[in-house]
Structure 1
Amino acid sequence: MALTADKEALIWKTLNETRGKIEPSEYKNYIFGVMFYKFLSEKAQNWLNEVLRGETWADVWQQNPEKSAGFMQRTLGYVIQPGDMFSDWKTAINEDKFNIMMVSDALVHFDQGVSPDAKDNFAGIFTDMDLTSSRLGANAQTRTATLMAWINLMDKMELGEEADILGDLYEYLISMFAANSGAKAGEFYTPHQVSDIMARILTAGRENLEEYSLYDPTMGSGSLLLTTASHMKNAGVRGAIKYYGQELITTTYNLARMNLMMHGVEYNDINLRNADTLNGDWPDGLVQGVDNPRMFDAVMANPPYSQKWDNTNREDDPRFKFGVAPKSKADYAFLLHSLYHLKSDGRMAIVLPHGVLFRGAAEERIRKELLENRHIVAIIGLPEKIFTNTGIPTIIMVLEKNRATDDVLFIDASKGYEKQKNSNKLREEDINKIVQAYLAHHDIDKYAHVATMDEIRENDYNLNIPRYVDTFEEEEPVDSAELLDSMKALSKEENRLTTDLKEMMSDLVVTHQEDQQILDELREVLDYE
């Protein structure tokens, strides 16, 4: 059973009470680290309970540490030694024997015990937990007390090992940390409502595929991958869905690795990489001079908007055969990389700023190539202020590689949202309207238009949404006679009130010179005689 909103809010409130002076953007690294270690520890303990048949892990380990490590490694991809379990930390706290070195040593042991074929999934995943940081406390004693508070907090959550509950909590906390991390939120979070629109579009009509491959070249915390997979029939079936993702920022890459595994994805279905997507092609790509890229059923991305990049010597890069994006704006570089890795029958969705629809020069040439080659399926205009890191309005662009038609569906969804304190939120009805309009693929008055290529050529390949979707609402005609009557009535009321005020002022008795001065000024304003 999923967490209730009340339970989530209580957990967030309790977390904040233990944060102290640590900034939310940094605090999340510790909280997610402790939470993830608890998850791995309980997973290992549950597996041991099934296979040891009454023996203790400590006894088995003592008999043959190397064999015991290999035993756990082959199944789980990692090893947690006796004494290093989360439950061991909790026992030490209860017996007043805990110190911060227990955690530090356990994390070192964990890194040493990762299986060679699981290195990409587990190695260095806890490096963002700096246990020597002065923010945890001025000395080892205070840092130990801080860590004890977090361990006790995680222990009290009593979430169990259910992937849906853990995953829901993790996703909720990511959203809350994003909301409290200012501009840094853009590094790791795409609002679930946007992810859901993209996921439903990507999987529409394909939900029953037995196998499905996903790729997000700017994956952040991995929410787009997970949301897309959740709409597939075989979500949760080992080996059915393969997850590929790339992320430049190491801290965010670690968040994504934790996020996928906390949602129950097995480590051997995960292929994530900590690198610059634009500097070198991955997955696969050029190997010993031969271009052999890996292709995917679905590609999704929410890249950093209009980011600078090194575009020198890119003309021979097969990813950019339609053109090289300007060095001041990498939007089309991310788009072309994503399209390059799409299967011939795949589908792609990417979030971009509006500028990609109408900017000129190199971007105009790329846009023209994409249109003439029938790659752009739809452009969906979203409301402003729905992302935590920017207030600008954005679009979702949907692309495919092999289309029979060359028209483009334009959807103006910029006015469908719920206004909140400092942001706007897409409601369920807004999401449904967008997806249904995409699937219907026909004109909807004031909302959607299917533009022919002739229309687009007439607009010089400018894709600015207002050129295609007219959302203008005519104002009701003004009844001039009624307006005149209203103005006369207002004037009459004004005269009455002025007369009443003058009469009241006539009755005033002034005892101070200052009051007389004020009264004289009022008389002047009212043209009093």
Structure 2
Amino acid sequence: MALKKSDLYSSLWASCDQLRGGMDASQYKDYILTLLFVKYVSDKAKTDPNSLIEVPKGGSFDAMLAAKGDKEIGDRFNKIIAKLAEANDLRNVIDQADFNDEEKLGKGKEMQDRLSKLVTIFNDLDFRGSRAEGDDLLGDAYEYLMRHFATESGKSKGQFYTPAEVSRILAKVVGIGPKTRQDQTVYDPACGSGSLLLKAAAEAPRGMTIYGQEKDNATWALCKMNMILHGNEIADIAKGDTITSPHFTKGDHLRTFDYIVMNPPFSVKSWNNGLENDYGRFEYGRPPEKNGDYAFLLHALTSLRSTGKAAIILPHGVLFRGHAETTIRTRLLKQGFIKGVIGLPANLFYGTGIPACVVILDKENAQARTGVFMIDASKGFMKDGPKNRLRSQDIHKIVDTFTNQIEIERYSRMVPMSEIADPNNDYNLNIPRYIDASEPEDLQDLSAHLHGGIPDRDLDALQPYWDAFPQLRSQIFTANRPGYSDLAIDVSAVQQAIFDAPGFHKLRAEATGIVEDWFAAHRDTLAGVTADTIPNELIATISDDLLARFKPVPLLDEYNIYEQLMTYWHDTMHDDVYLIMADGWQGAARPRKAIDDKERKLTETPDLVVGSGRGASKYKMDLIPPSLMVSTYYYDRAAEIDNLTAAVEEATRAVEEYIEEHAVDDGLLAEAMDDDKITKALAAARLREAKKLRGEPAEIKTLQHLIKLYDAEAEAKKSVKELQTALDETVLSEYGNLTEDDVKTLVLDNKWHATVVRRVASEVEALTLDLVARIQQLGERYAATVSDLDAELDSLEAKVADHLAAMGVGR
């Protein structure tokens, strides 16, 4: 039975724990990714006779597995990898990591155990069915590892990886998509590990012809492996410095490409060391000697065909820095080559924490271009550990806005070239000059503070809410004087008044209805998930449709609704789909034994435990959790358990209250106390002693009643445990009775559909709470006038004077 993808990733990441010893992430990633490569090509060779990678005898993962426990395991690994490299002309590519390095892997038994554990973990992974399309086990696992390696490598060593979210934006804004032909070319002149190139090419359903160049030898090798792992064995990845020694040339000119995506190192100071031939790249000006940002930009521009398009990640300085860069920027703008600029959030990238931008170049119809489309997307992100990360809604909004050239207040606009060329701007492209992304200032109204009332201008700013809830404003506000209104109800009653408003119920019902119609339209597609499903295409289809359906709904932000679905997809649905693809609907629904492997740090919290102690059986139900089975089939028994649980709580409370009443100093239970506690055993022991010594009847009676309360509590707990055990056993056995139709109903209707409905309803409630918070803020802000405050001050001064007089303090 397949594990969830997230569990498999955890297993893969656990393998890194076996190596952490004396290495940092920038070093041990080479070992992990080399093993991943050998395992993948070995598995693929077993099922794909047309595989472009030859796996020779003695050069496979099976040979590595056979070396487990060998004293010479490190040397044997090196020789196995060397055979594989020799057979495929991959010397100095897949053999970069030395598996016999005692400084990194330990000596003798330490190395033997570490590598044996490592190869055992990788043996659990099965890539024979992997399609390497970015939504399969291998593609996602590789992405998972690269993100973790980049996070742990730190600023100085994390530049090999461009976050996948940013990569998708670059691919989409240059126009790579369903219509892109397989023979069209995509090029990354500073390709690092190849993650950006692969994400760009993945946007073309039929693939693309891939070219790249990378300066760092180890990162170049990583990129070559990455290409093969993702089924792009014929990608042309060159080694060397793109600026001083470009590989893709034709005589004294650069070769040209259809699309270029690039995330070059920022502000390189030594970019021109050893530069002999500029290949015509500096026609529009030579970059400053100690800043190479424009060297990379101009290289990309020169490498574009006449209709070519490029998207380049650069520091914001390229938009406004002066001197030589002003000259270059001015000439490029006058030529119409700069199509757009997108400002991104800070701290997205692993090589730097500074905010970056995307500069989009487009040679097609450049002379006719009359403006630059700008987006300030700096505020749309989520925190993800030490870094910021773009959400699904941020990516979609950026791409939609740029592709359709949509102008949105405080977010995007088409800036005319005449405005950019104005002497006040002088071809400066700094985004805040043209887009004010700051929130409007919340102004205090002096007249309202003096005379009371809430300014109507503050209420007018909430017009989208009044449009959605037509009668609400007149229900909760009354006129005060021209330009000012009063709350007609107490501030504390605002929330309930809004929740009771017909408009709120109408909006919630409309949102629910849209989700119902949306799910009904796609239910058959979701029910048809099989081993041939492509998850990325599935979620793209249904999520885009949900976004489109909510676009005309007033007040609700369609991108927030979209994010609710995408978050659920990443958290749960993607794993569910993967399990169904791997094991079928019924197979994926079967319970499996929970993993409890402490050595590999893979101990799962079980969903259901049957039995107790060492004989307990622990189960995971990944697709259909027990709570879903109970709420669907056994809700009456669950209700009975809930009632009994409430009785247990009541019995426990009765014990605590009785002890609190009688265990005070000199109380009837004081003699039975031990360290401020009195258990049933202590009470029983004291009762026997009191009877033996013919103690006070009142104490004996009190002890007897306490024991009776303890017995009632124990009986209630026993009943709950017995009922819960019986229910757990019934639920476990019921999984075996589920038909495929049963499983589909549970997953599609009771899990996926019900969850999306709840999430969308929460979005309606959240925006309503925003309105509540604003009205309460305004109500409290202007509740007391200056006269009221003066009167209160006079009253307090009078009280102080009275107190002073009472104490005999003279005036």
Smaller-chain TM-score bracket: 0.7 to 0.9
Q: Distance in 2 between matches of 1:421 and 1:495?
A: 53
Residue 30 of structure 2 aligns with an amino acid whose one-letter code is N
Task: Give the C-alpha shift of residue 420 in structure 1.
Answer: 4.0
Report SS of the residue matched to 1:462. coil
2:57 corresponds to 1:90: no
Q: Distance in 2 between matches of 1:86 and 1:495?
A: 87
Q: 1:143 to 1:457 in 2, by over 3 A?
A: same
- Of residues 207-216 and 20-29 in structure 1, the stretch that sits farther from structure 2 once superposed is 207-216
Task: Give the C-alpha shift of residue 14 in structure 1.
Answer: 4.7
Task: Give the C-alpha shift of residue 147 in structure 1.
Answer: 1.7
Q: Distance in 1 between matches of 2:181 and 2:400?
A: 21
Task: Give the C-alpha shift of residue 9 in structure 1.
Answer: 3.5
Q: Distance in 2 between matches of 1:2 and 1:436?
A: 36
Q: 1:34 to 1:134 in 2, by over 3 A?
A: same
What corresponds to 1:189 in structure 2? 161
Deviation per residue, 1:448-473 (Å, 9 max, x gap): 11122211111211011111112243
Q: Distance in 2 between matches of 1:316 and 1:137?
A: 45
The answer to whether the Cα contact below 8 Å between 2:214 and 2:220 also exists between their aligned partners in 1 is yes
Task: Give the C-alpha shift of residue 321 in structure 1.
Answer: 1.4
Q: Distance in 1 between matches of 2:316 and 2:115?
A: 45
Deviation per residue, 1:40-86 (Å, 9 max, x gap): 22233434xx5xxxxxxxxxxxxxxxxxxxxxxxx655544323321
Q: Which of 166, 172, 175 is residue 200 of structure 1 equivalent to?
A: 172
Q: 1:18 to 1:138 in 2, by over 3 A?
A: closer
What corresponds to 2:316 in structure 1? 354
Q: Distance in 2 between matches of 1:298 and 1:135?
A: 44
Matches within 5 A, 1:66-215: 79-93=54-68, 99-114=73-88, 119=89, 122-162=90-130, 163=132, 164-204=136-176, 207-215=179-187
Deviation per residue, 1:191-229 (Å, 9 max, x gap): 111111111112356634242211001111111111111
Deviation per residue, 1:406-425 (Å, 9 max, x gap): 31101111111223443322
The answer to whether the Cα contact below 8 Å between 1:25 and 1:184 also exists between their aligned partners in 2 is no
What corresponds to 1:12 in structure 2? 13
What corresponds to 1:424 in structure 2? 388
Task: Give the C-alpha shift of residue 8 in structure 1.
Answer: 2.3
The answer to whether the Cα contact below 8 Å between 2:63 and 2:80 also exists between their aligned partners in 1 is no
The answer to whether the Cα contact below 8 Å between 1:203 and 1:228 also exists between their aligned partners in 2 is no
Task: Give the C-alpha shift of residue 282 in structure 1.
Answer: 2.4
Residue 451 of structure 1 aligns with an amino acid whose one-letter code is V
5+ residue gaps in structure 1? 51-74, 236-240, 508-526
- Of residues 163-172 and 1-10 in structure 1, the stretch that sits farther from structure 2 once superposed is 1-10
Q: Distance in 1 between matches of 2:322 and 2:398?
A: 28
Q: Which of 183, 200, 206 is residue 228 of structure 1 equivalent to?
A: 200
Of structures 1 and 2, the larger Rg is shown by: 2
Residue 284 of structure 1 aligns with an amino acid whose one-letter code is T
Residue 211 of structure 1 aligns with an amino acid whose one-letter code is D
Q: Distance in 1 between matches of 2:791 and 2:141?
A: 62
Residue 443 of structure 2 aligns with an amino acid whose one-letter code is P
Q: Which of 339, 342, 351 is residue 377 of structure 1 equivalent to?
A: 339
Task: Give the C-alpha shift of residue 132 in structure 1.
Answer: 3.4
5+ residue gaps in structure 2? 451-783
Matches within 5 A, 1:414-493: 414-458=378-422, 459-480=425-446, 482-483=448-449, 485=784, 489=789
Report SS of the residue matched to 1:419. strand
Task: Give the C-alpha shift of residue 246 in structure 1.
Answer: 0.7
Task: Give the C-alpha shift of residue 353 in structure 1.
Answer: 0.4
Q: Distance in 1 between matches of 2:427 and 2:26?
A: 41
Q: Distance in 1 between matches of 2:26 and 2:794?
A: 58
Report SS of the residue matched to 2:307. strand
2:212 corresponds to 1:261: no
Report SS of the residue matched to 2:40. helix
Q: Distance in 2 between matches of 1:213 and 1:2?
A: 37
Alpha-carbon RMSD across the aligned residues, in angstroms, is 3.2
Q: 1:14 to 1:110 in 2, by over 3 A?
A: closer
Report SS of the residue matched to 1:5. helix
Matches within 5 A, 1:259-338: 259-265=226-232, 267-268=233-234, 270-286=235-251, 291-311=252-272, 317-338=279-300
Report SS of the residue matched to 1:352. strand
TM-score (norm 1): 0.80
Report SS of the residue matched to 2:306. strand
Deviation per residue, 1:334-392 (Å, 9 max, x gap): 01111111111121100000000011111111111111111000000111111123221
Matches within 5 A, 1:246-257: 246-257=213-224
Q: Distance in 2 between matches of 1:148 and 1:494?
A: 83
Q: Distance in 2 between matches of 1:273 and 1:233?
A: 25
Matches within 5 A, 1:22-33: 22-33=23-34
2:406 corresponds to 1:406: no
Task: Give the C-alpha shift of residue 152 in structure 1.
Answer: 1.0
Report SS of the residue matched to 2:156. helix
Q: 1:81 to 1:188 in 2, by over 3 A?
A: same
Q: 1:186 to 1:406 in 2, by over 3 A?
A: farther
The answer to whether the Cα contact below 8 Å between 1:314 and 1:320 also exists between their aligned partners in 2 is no
Q: 1:489 to 1:7 in 2, by over 3 A?
A: farther
Q: Percent identity?
A: 34
Q: Which has the higher helix share?
A: 2
Report SS of the residue matched to 2:249. coil
